[in-house]
């Protein structure tokens, strides 16, 4: 938990920082003079040989810096200069002129003072954050959160370029072009293809919902998923009843039935019903038998697991008893048919479905007359004497009423056929017709016994949605016409010619009535009985009602759908619309209909298209500098800034509601929301985008450098699993507010079945695609980021490992060290380690380091990379390399120590490099949070992050909170200020 | 109701792009529309007239007509070649086109055999894919849509997918969805292409350019949004919004250019010319008579091909387990029922009637001059049925006719019988692969075939 004290400290810093925003005391003259008179001559004398405009060694030209202002402008370059000179690495050992210690101090000292002065002078400057378009990732996540459907509209967009900090979330790198605009138009048009008009508004399917089959799939799936969510396992209810009965002994003496139900995720309503029939009283038949079982449940002596186990076992026996006994009360229902028609015809099938429905909670006693069943009955319960028969029957009815033969039917075969002709029942919600379209709702027991009012409304509305979105009644009727004419032949005569299944006119109310008449006439002529005729009458009445409901609702729901679009717009805009804006959308919709002749649905689509294409949605307009002076963000802008930082997406309802109340900027609210956001599943956006770009694995799912013939286990599944591992790790670390040091030192990781196999982890079991935590990962040579297969594979050039790339990745990505690019004339090492000849890879690298100009960098890289040699080119653990040579993980580290393998690499990082790692994490995090490259004035905030972090071991939440509470995050520049001209030496990602 | 495909295509041969394209329809519109034949109506952007004619190769088209439930196979035969080819009674309507067609026998889809009758024999007729039973639709992309994905972006409509009978989506007794019986063109493994049944709407989708107008209106609108935002902000922000505005204007210009091109074509259509094609917009609603319905649909395919509005068309004349009735052929039972007596005279008349639809479309295209040949000469039309025998539900081979020589890429006037070959050498997908390749689409496999069809 975050402590109040911490909040206050954070607050204090914020206030302090705010005080010194844009101080206007100018640069003291003495700094300028010292630079000109002392430092610059030294640089010209000792550095210009290599770093002048001509040679530009390491792409650095120091002759450009004439004044101290130039130095300030390019402070990042000078940070490196400072570092290298202070460390004595520059000028290099083989340079012709060397600095004396005194001279070195002069340079280092002045630059440091300039930096400090400049940083403090501008502390709290929000910096130049340009209102830019959403990145592809942000666009995808935003569309997902806006529509509720994971559509990935940017699938075919070009990859977004990154800024110098390595992130693709800043105006520095995100641009718009006509080609991209055309793709936006196309992609947003596709998003509108996912839209469906519903009776209450609009909805989006995860796939284009253009054909009726797509729409069926969506609507049916929603209903079926609703059913599947319902807790209908009877054993759970018996067990819950036992828990309630003994709640005092089980440690919660005052629990109510409802509380027990809620705790066990059961329906309170149904638990009450079940409890009532279990309460002991004299019963007959199955209820008596059930009560006997119930009474045999143990009384817990203390809260131990044995009695719970026994109770669970008996609960399951009770369920089995109900299932087997309940079948005895099921009726046998015959088919109806009309002479000259088919018993698969719609009125006949629907009639039969309804008969079953009638008996879901009603007992049929025909078994009393049937001998065959008698033995089965005898096994299940006693049939009493005549005198008690009425009571017996009443109890049987009660039994059947409480325990329906089914709570709902989600799949139906063709019941009018005998079993051998009735293949398969995976026809979701099907009415069970022959070849014809048709759904049938049969969930009354669930509805009455289990659902509360809100759930009942939801289920009703899902069924209405199916009818409306997919026009199922019309289609059912259409296929009825086809079937009766072409297949059963019942309607083949000329008197039926006035209806055609293709013709929309056929399903107008008068036409249906007319057909009902003619059809019924023929049914009467065929000598049908009254039940059959009633079935026919009811069929026409019901289908007519349903069709007319859909047709009328199509018109009646139009205003609701337009309202839904306005609501959609405000979610997309991340703020309430102004009255004018809302009116403009309405006007535009009407213009499309009246001027352009679009249909209602088309006009809704195109209005949505303008919302998605509008810069108000696809740009970060919350960042626009729209006042003369710097100002604090308003609460809506803050909501956007928070959600794009932590979720890479638009703010949710809760953030917006706090913005509406106006308390989001208040420190305790802000901290509370940040905590909530870190625990939310959408934090995956941060885990993927921040970590993925920082650690350079964001595009790993497209990584194709592995030779799949040599590494047969490397398939798309393994690649995806490798990609997923650090994301799972990060999501977990974020949700639990772990220390950033865990990234290096943790003894845990996350695997699925595929990755477990790759890692040789055998003692875990998985359900399908499940991921599980491995808490003692060191046993398998894993734990934390360092030995994750994704990094080891990404940094291997195919058929060998690359200690250079792996070492460079650690030094550069994790520790933030700036290593210049290698000179162009470096000899290549073969990409297959079996082709290295006599030398091992280690020896080859050692040879390379013999050259002093190579050694400067490689001494800092190679040893760290060699510590990973116990992992092969796809991150697998190994003893020998592909050339059959024993691997050697020993190396001399930059501090002169000799260390071995992964564990000692961790020791080294802990002892020697931890501060660098923390500093780098803070820098990356801040740059990502602000959506810009860092500037000198950020040093003050970085220091605050480090200070705050140190207090609780560098918890991620603390670092995030410190950023979020700081002036650069909470405010933005005025329109007068221009961006600092950051002039940078080459720092390109490989 | 939603039917035709519509969308801007930017990236050819890119399956990902294809799956992203808008499938929404753009309908409604004008009265009589005149179209220009391909040569005159297809300006190349930025080029002038004379260049156009010389530089654009004549497009190749692919069209399918589908009939279901088999043919009267006793009378479905052909022998000889070219002008001296002899035709069985079923094929008689093709008599005048003998030199321009191939009768291909003995081909089949392995995945349509042994899976149960009807839907399982139909939904994969153009894809060769295994179909999945039960609630979830799963098959494969059909050959016409592969072609549309590859070349469709060059025309205003990537493909025309038409039908003369509405789809049905219940369950067949084999537990396959009836959607498989109702659709031959599949956009991807899980979705059929929405099929247009109304001639008037199919016509509008070709000629009224509605999609562009809608996009333009949207762009105008968002431009206003950006301009409003731009007024208040810093120079850097202005620059970003200007980038947005410039991009919007540029896309608008492209759309305008496309519209101008169309206008030029329309203006010139007003001038009398020998090659002028006209067709009146069909009436709203569904034609009462199936003969009129089929003829209109054929006319629309023909005019679409000639004016190069699209180069790909599929026309489902009837669906599988069809309920179409043929009082004018003196047949009392509906199509499906009639097919259970496929060797009698009634079903011969039905088969002949369907073949005459194919003959009608082929002849119509053959009457449209194009460069030194006809539109038919630059097309490949295919007539296909899902079964050889409807009474036996036999799909171990299917009746198939090809017409048109695809600009010389396909030799015609032949009778090809693959019936005696081994199963791997008589795959329908091999034929489709051959057609893909001869249309200039580089693909080395399609459906279950890795080789093109031999001898074709």
Summarize pLDDT for A242-255 with one digit per residue, the tens. 999 998 888 788 88
**Across B35-49, B247-261, B326-340, least confident range:** B35-49
Position A10 pLDDT exceeds 50: no
Please state the rounded mean pLDDT for residues A400-420.
84
Least CB–CB distance from B28: residue in A492, A597, A605: A597
Please state the rounded mean pLDDT for residues A456-473.
96
Please state the rounded mean pLDDT for residues B266-276.
47
CB pairs under 8 A between A and B: 245
The CA distance from A396 to the nearest CA of chain B, in Å, is: 37
Q: Which residues contact A688 (CB under 8 A, 6 or more apart)?
A: A137, A648, A698, A727
Query: pLDDT higher for A42 or A532?
Result: A532
Position A324 pLDDT exceeds 50: yes
Instruction: Answer yes or no: do B251 and A185 touch at CB < 8 A.
Output: yes
Chain B residues inside the 8 Å CB shell of A485: 323, 325, 334
Q: What is the CA radius of gyration of chain A?
A: 37
List all residues of chain A from 656 to 715 with a beta carbon under 8 Å from chain B: none
Position A750 pLDDT exceeds 90: yes
Position A979 pLDDT exceeds 80: no
pLDDT of amino acid B7: 34
pLDDT of amino acid A372: 58
Q: Which residues contact B52 (CB under 8 A, 6 or more apart)?
A: B39, B42, B43, B44
Chain B residues inside the 8 Å CB shell of A482: 168, 323
Chain B residues inside the 8 Å CB shell of A478: 166, 168
pLDDT of amino acid B222: 95
Cβ–Cβ < 8 Å for A626, A637: no
pLDDT one-digit tens code per residue, B107-143: 999 999 988 889 999 999 999 999 998 878 899 999 9
The CA distance from B254 to the nearest CA of chain A, in Å, is: 10
pLDDT of amino acid B351: 97
Strands (DSSP E) found in B30-89: 33-35, 61-67, 78-79, 86-87
Instruction: Answer yes or no: do B323 and A486 touch at CB < 8 A.
Output: yes
**Across A305-319, A816-830, B200-214, least confident range:** A816-830
Which of the 8 DSSP states describes residue B280?
A: P
C-alpha to C-alpha distances, B196 to A482, B18, B177, B315, B380, nearest whole angstrom: 18, 20, 20, 9, 22
pLDDT of amino acid B162: 96
pLDDT of amino acid B19: 37
The CA distance from B290 to the nearest CA of chain A, in Å, is: 11
Cis? peptide before B151, omega within 30° of 0: no
Position B319 pLDDT exceeds 50: yes
C-alpha to C-alpha distances, A543 to A64, A199, A352, A475, A538, nearest whole angstrom: 83, 18, 16, 10, 8
Instruction: Answer yes or no: do B168 and A437 touch at CB < 8 A.
Output: yes
pLDDT of amino acid A594: 95
User: Looking at beta carbons, which pairs linking A741-745 to residues 24 or more positions away fall under 8 Å?
Assistant: A741/A914, A741/A917, A741/A918, A741/A953, A741/A954, A742/A784, A743/A784, A743/A785, A743/A814, A743/A921, A744/A784, A744/A785, A744/A786, A744/A814, A744/A906, A744/A909, A744/A910, A744/A917, A745/A784, A745/A906, A745/A910
pLDDT one-digit tens code per residue, B78-93: 999 998 999 999 999 9
Chain A residues inside the 8 Å CB shell of B236: 128, 130, 171, 625, 978-979
For residue B220, the chain A residue with the least C-alpha distance is A610
pLDDT one-digit tens code per residue, B160-219: 999 999 888 888 888 888 999 999 999 999 889 989 998 988 888 888 777 888 999 999
For residue A502, the chain B residue with the least C-alpha distance is B166
Q: Which residues contact A53 (CB under 8 A, 6 or more apart)?
A: A61, A63, A64
Query: pLDDT higher for A368 or A861?
Result: A861
Q: Give the length of chain B.
A: 456
Q: Which residues contact A609 (CB under 8 A, 6 or more apart)?
A: A188, A189, A192, B218
Average pLDDT, rounded, for chain A: 88
Which helix (H) or strand (E) covers residue B207, if one does?
Answer: helix B199-207
pLDDT one-digit tens code per residue, A754-768: 999 999 998 888 888
Reference A841, options A832, A852, A850; nearest CA is A832
**Across A220-234, A704-718, A831-845, least confident range:** A831-845
**Across A494-508, A525-539, B261-275, least confident range:** B261-275
Least CB–CB distance from B168: residue in A424, A482, A500: A482
Tell me the C-alpha distance between A544 and A346, whole Å: 14
The CA distance from A191 to the nearest CA of chain B, in Å, is: 8
Position A985 pLDDT exceeds 60: no
Q: Which residues contact A413 (CB under 8 A, 6 or more apart)?
A: A422, A423, A424, A425, A427, A430, A432
pLDDT one-digit tens code per residue, B412-432: 999 999 999 999 999 999 999
Position A520 pLDDT exceeds 90: yes
pLDDT of amino acid B267: 53
Least CB–CB distance from A181: residue in B170, B234, B248: B248
pLDDT one-digit tens code per residue, A435-445: 899 999 999 99
Instruction: Answer yes or no: do B222 and A610 touch at CB < 8 A.
Output: yes
The partner residues of A871 in beta bridges, in order of sequence, read: A877
Please give the span between the terminal C-alpha atoms of chain A, in angstroms, as a whole number: 40
pLDDT of amino acid A423: 54
Inform me whether the C-beta atom of residue A33 falls under 8 Å from chain B C-beta atoms: no
pLDDT of amino acid A676: 97
pLDDT of amino acid B261: 64
Inform me whether the C-beta atom of residue A345 falls under 8 Å from chain B C-beta atoms: no
pLDDT of amino acid B264: 59
Instruction: Answer yes or no: do A489 and B333 touch at CB < 8 A.
Output: yes
Average pLDDT, rounded, for chain B: 84
Query: pLDDT higher for A705 or A855?
Result: A705
Cβ–Cβ < 8 Å for A684, A676: no
Phi, psi of A193 (to 5 degrees): -65, -25
Please state the rounded mean pLDDT for residues A296-301.
87
Count the helix, strand and coil residues of chain A and give each as a percent rounded to the nearest 5. Answer: 55, 5, 40
Position A1 pLDDT exceeds 60: no
pLDDT of amino acid A715: 93
Tell me the C-alpha distance between B375 and B38, whole Å: 9
The CA distance from A561 to the nearest CA of chain B, in Å, is: 18
Query: pLDDT higher for A894 or B330?
Result: B330
Predicted confidence band of residue B50 (pLDDT cuts 50, 70, 90): very low
Chain A residues inside the 8 Å CB shell of B229: 615-616, 621, 624
Tell me the C-alpha distance between A683 and A649, whole Å: 10
pLDDT of amino acid A842: 79
pLDDT of amino acid A303: 58
pLDDT of amino acid B282: 86
List all residues of chain A from 173 to 212 with a beta carbon under 8 Å from chain B: 175-178, 180-183, 185-187, 189-190, 192-193, 207-208, 210-212
Cα-to-chain-centroid distance, residue B28: 20
pLDDT of amino acid A983: 31
Tell me the C-alpha distance between B253 and B258, whole Å: 9
pLDDT of amino acid B6: 36
Query: pLDDT higher for B21 or A745?
Result: A745
Chain B residues inside the 8 Å CB shell of A191: none
Cβ–Cβ < 8 Å for A180, A133: no
Predicted confidence band of residue A54 (pLDDT cuts 50, 70, 90): confident
Please state the rounded mean pLDDT for residues A500-516.
90
Instruction: Answer yes or no: do B336 and A478 touch at CB < 8 A.
Output: no
Q: Which residues contact A867 (CB under 8 A, 6 or more apart)?
A: A889, A891, A899, A900, A901, A902, A904, A905
pLDDT of amino acid B299: 94
pLDDT of amino acid B9: 33
pLDDT of amino acid A13: 46
Please give the span between the terminal C-alpha atoms of chain B, in angstroms, as a whole number: 40
% of chain B with per-residue pLDDT over 90: 61
Helices (H), B21-127: 38-41, 49-55, 119-122
Tell me the C-alpha distance between A165 and A163, whole Å: 5
ipTM: 0.84
Cβ–Cβ < 8 Å for A185, B219: yes
């Amino acid at each position: 938990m975050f402590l109040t004290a911490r909040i206050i400290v954070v607050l204090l810093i914020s206030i302090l920082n705010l005080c010194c925003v844009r101080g206007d005391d100018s640069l003291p003259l003495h700094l300028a003079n010292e630079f000109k008179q002392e430092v610059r001559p030294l640089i010209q004398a000792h550095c210009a040989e290599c770093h002048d405009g001509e040679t530009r060694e390491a792409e650095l030209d120091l002759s450009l810096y004439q004044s101290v202002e130039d130095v300030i402008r390019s402070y990042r370059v000078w940070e490196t200069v400072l570092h290298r000179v202070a460390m004595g690495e520059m000028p290099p050992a083989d340079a012709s002129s060397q600095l004396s210690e005194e001279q070195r101090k002069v340079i280092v000292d002045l630059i440091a003072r300039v930096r400090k002065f400049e940083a403090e002078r501008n502390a709290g400057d929000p910096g130049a954050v340009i209102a830019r378009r959403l990145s592809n990732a942000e666009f995808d996540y935003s569309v997902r959160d806006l529509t509720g459907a994971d559509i990935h509209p940017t699938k075919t967009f070009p990859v977004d370029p990154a800024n110098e900090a390595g992130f693709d979330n800043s105006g520095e790198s995100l641009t718009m072009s006509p080609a991209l605009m055309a793709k936006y138009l196309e992609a947003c048009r596709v998003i509108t293809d996912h839209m469906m008009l519903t009776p209450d508004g609009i909805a989006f399917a995860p796939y284009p919902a253009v054909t009726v089959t797509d729409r069926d799939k969506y609507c049916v799936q929603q209903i079926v998923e609703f059913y599947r969510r319902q807790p209908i396992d009877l054993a759970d209810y018996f067990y819950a009843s036992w828990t309630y009965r003994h709640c005092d002994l089980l440690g919660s003496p005052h629990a109510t039935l409802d509380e027990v139900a809620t705790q066990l995720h059961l329906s309170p309503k149904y638990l009450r019903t079940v409890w009532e029939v279990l309460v002991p009283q004299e019963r007959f038949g199955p209820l008596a038998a059930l009560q006997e079982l119930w009474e045999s449940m143990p009384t817990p002596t203390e809260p131990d697991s044995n009695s719970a186990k026994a109770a669970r076992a008996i609960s399951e026996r009770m369920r089995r008893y109900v299932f087997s006994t309940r079948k005895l009360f099921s009726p046998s229902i015959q088919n109806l048919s009309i002479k000259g028609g088919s018993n698969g015809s719609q009125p006949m099938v629907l009639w039969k479905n309804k008969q079953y429905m009638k008996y879901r909670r009603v007992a049929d006693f025909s078994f009393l007359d049937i001998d065959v069943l008698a033995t089965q009955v005898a096994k299940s319960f006693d049939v009493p004497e005549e005198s008690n028969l009425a009571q017996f029957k009443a109890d049987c009815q009660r039994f059947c009423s409480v325990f329906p033969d089914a709570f709902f039917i989600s799949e139906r075969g063709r019941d009018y056929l005998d079993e051998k002709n009735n293949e398969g029942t995976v026809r979701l919600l099907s009415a069970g017709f022959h070849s014809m379209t048709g759904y049938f709702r049969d969930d009354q027991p669930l509805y009455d016994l289990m659902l509360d009012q809100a759930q009942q409304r939801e289920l009703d509305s899902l069924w209405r949605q199916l009818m409306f979105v997919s026009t199922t009644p019309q289609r059912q009727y259409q296929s009825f016409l086809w079937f009766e004419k072409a297949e059963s032949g019942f309607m083949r005569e000329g008197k039926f010619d006035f209806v055609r299944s293709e013709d929309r006119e056929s399903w107008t109310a008068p036409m249906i009535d007319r057909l009902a008449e003619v059809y019924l006439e023929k049914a009467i002529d065929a000598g049908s009985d009254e039940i059959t005729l009633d079935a026919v009458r009811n069929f026409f009445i019901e289908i007519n009602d349903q069709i007319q409901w859909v047709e009328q609702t199509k018109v009646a729901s139009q205003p609701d759908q337009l309202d839904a679009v306005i609501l959609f717009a405000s979610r997309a805009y991340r703020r309430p619309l102004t009255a004018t804006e809302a009116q403009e959308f309405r006007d535009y919709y009407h213009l499309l209909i009246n001027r352009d002749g679009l249909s209602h649905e088309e006009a809704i689509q195109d209005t949505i298209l303008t919302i998605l294409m509008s810069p108000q949605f696809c740009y970060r307009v919350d960042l626009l500098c729209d006042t003369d002076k710097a100002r604090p963000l308003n609460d809506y802008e803050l909501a956007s800034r928070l959600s794009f930082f932590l979720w890479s997406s638009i703010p949710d309802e809760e953030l917006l509601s706090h913005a509406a109340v106006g308390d989001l900027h208040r420190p305790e609210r802000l901290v509370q929301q940040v905590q909530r956001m870190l625990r939310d599943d959408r934090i995956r956006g941060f885990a993927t985008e921040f970590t993925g770009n920082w650690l350079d694995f964001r595009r790993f799912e497209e990584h194709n450098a592995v030779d799949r013939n040599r590494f047969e286990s490397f398939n798309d599944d393994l690649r995806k699993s490798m990609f997923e591992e650090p994301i799972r790790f990060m999501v977990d670390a974020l949700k639990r507010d772990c220390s950033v040091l865990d990234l290096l030192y943790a003894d845990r990781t996350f695997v699925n079945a595929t990755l477990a196999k790759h890692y040789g982890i055998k003692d875990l079991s998985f359900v399908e695609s499940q991921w599980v935590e491995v808490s003692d990962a060191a046993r398998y040579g894993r734990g934390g980021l360092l030995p994750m297969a994704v990094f080891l594979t990404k940094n291997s050039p195919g058929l060998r490992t690359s200690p250079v790339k792996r070492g460079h990745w650690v030094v550069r990505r994790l520790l933030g060290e700036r290593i210049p690019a290698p000179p162009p004339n470096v000899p290549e090492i073969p990409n297959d380690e079996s082709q290295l000849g006599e030398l091992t890879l280690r020896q080859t690298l050692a040879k390379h380091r013999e050259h002093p100009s190579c050694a400067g960098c490689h001494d800092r890289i190679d040893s760290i990379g060699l510590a990973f040699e116990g992992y092969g080119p796809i991150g697998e653990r190994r003893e020998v390399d592909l050339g059959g040579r024993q691997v050697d993980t020993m190396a001399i580290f930059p501090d002169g120590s000799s260390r071995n393998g992964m564990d000692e690499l961790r020791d080294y990082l802990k002892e020697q490099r931890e501060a660098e790692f923390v500093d780098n994490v803070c820098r990356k995090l801040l740059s990502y949070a602000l959506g810009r490259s860092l500037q000198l004035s950020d040093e003050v905030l970085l220091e605050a992050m480090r200070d705050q972090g140190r207090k609780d071991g560098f918890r991620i939440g603390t670092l995030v909170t410190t950023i979020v509470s700081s002036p650069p995050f909470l405010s933005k520049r005025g329109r007068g200020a221009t961006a600092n001209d950051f002039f940078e030496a080459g720092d390109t990602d490989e | 109701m939603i039917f035709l495909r519509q969308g801007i295509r930017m990236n050819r041969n890119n399956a990902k792009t294809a799956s992203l394209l808008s499938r929404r329809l753009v309908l409604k519109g004008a009265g009589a529309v005149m179209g220009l034949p391909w040569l005159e109506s297809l300006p190349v952007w930025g080029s002038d007239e004379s260049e156009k004619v010389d530089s654009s190769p004549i497009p190749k088209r692919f069209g399918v007509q589908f009939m279901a439930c088999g043919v009267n196979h006793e009378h479905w035969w052909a022998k000889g070649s070219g002008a001296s080819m002899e035709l069985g009674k079923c094929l008689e309507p093709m008599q005048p086109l003998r030199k321009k067609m191939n009768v291909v026998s003995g081909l089949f889809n392995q995945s349509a055999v042994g899976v149960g009758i009807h839907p399982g024999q139909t939904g994969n007729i153009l894809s060769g894919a295994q179909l999945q039973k039960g609630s979830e639709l799963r098959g494969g992309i059909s050959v016409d849509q592969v072609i549309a994905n590859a070349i469709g972006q060059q025309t205003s409509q990537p493909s025309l997918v038409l039908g003369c009978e509405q789809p049905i989506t219940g369950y067949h007794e084999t537990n396959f969805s009836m959607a498989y019986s109702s659709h031959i063109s599949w956009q991807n493994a899980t979705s059929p292409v929405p099929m247009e049944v109304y001639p008037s709407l199919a016509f509008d989708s070709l000629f009224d350019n509605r999609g562009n107008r809608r996009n333009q209106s949207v762009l105008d609108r968002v431009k206003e949004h950006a301009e409003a935002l731009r007024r208040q902000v810093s120079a850097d922000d202005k620059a970003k919004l200007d980038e947005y505005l410039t991009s919007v204007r540029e896309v608008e210009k492209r759309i305008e250019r496309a519209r101008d091109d169309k206008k030029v074509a329309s203006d010139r259509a007003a001038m009398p010319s020998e090659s002028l094609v006209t067709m009146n917009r069909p009436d709203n609603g569904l034609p009462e008579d199936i003969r009129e319905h089929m003829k209109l649909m054929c006319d629309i395919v023909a005019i679409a091909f000639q004016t190069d509005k699209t180069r790909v068309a599929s026309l489902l004349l009837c669906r599988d387990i069809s309920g179409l009735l043929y009082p004018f052929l003196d047949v009392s039972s509906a199509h499906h029922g009639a097919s259970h007596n496929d060797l009698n005279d009634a079903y011969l008349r039905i088969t002949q009637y369907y073949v005459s639809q194919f003959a009608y479309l082929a002849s119509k295209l053959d009457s449209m001059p194009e460069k030194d040949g006809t539109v038919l000469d630059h097309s490949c039309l295919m007539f296909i049925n899902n079964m050889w025998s409807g009474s036996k539900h036999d799909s171990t081979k299917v009746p198939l006719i090809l017409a048109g020589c695809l600009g010389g890429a396909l030799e015609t006037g032949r009778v090809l019988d693959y019936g005696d070959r081994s199963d791997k050498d008589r795959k329908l997908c091999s034929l489709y692969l051959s057609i893909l390749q001869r249309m200039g689409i580089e693909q080395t496999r399609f459906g279950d075939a890795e080789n093109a069809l031999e001898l074709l």
